[in-house]
């Protein structure tokens, strides 16, 4: 089973598109702390609504949706 690589997606938005953790958090309606934890890998799973909005933000900004294998 594969899941989005949240760390890669967030780091790409930060480095390639000039977002800040706070601006990502505001756009996906979560806290800056959650974005930071996902970026660091401290938490592996995003809340469904956060994940959907984060993927949409990446697609809108041309960031490829990289996944990682869970098995």
Tell whether the model's pLDDT for residue 48 goes beyond 90: yes
**Separation CA 9–CA 36 (nearest Å):** 12
pLDDT at residue 70, as a whole number: 66
**2-18: per-residue pLDDT in tens?**
899 999 999 999 999 99
Entry pTM: 0.91
pLDDT in tens, 28-39: 999 999 999 999
- 3-64 folds as 434 Repressor (Amino-terminal Domain) (1.10.260)
Q: What Å distances lie between residue 67 and 6, 31, 40, 59, CA to CA?
A: 8, 23, 16, 14
More confident residue, 68 or 45: 45
């Amino acid at each position: 089973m594969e899941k989005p690589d949240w760390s890669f997606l967030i780091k790409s938005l930060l480095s390639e598109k000039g977002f800040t953790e706070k601006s990502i958090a505001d756009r996906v309606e979560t806290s800056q702390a959650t974005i930071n934890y996902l970026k660091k890998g401290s938490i592996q799973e995003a809340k469904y609504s956060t994940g959907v909005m984060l993927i949409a933000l990446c697609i809108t900004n041309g960031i490829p949706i990289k996944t990682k294998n869970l098995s």
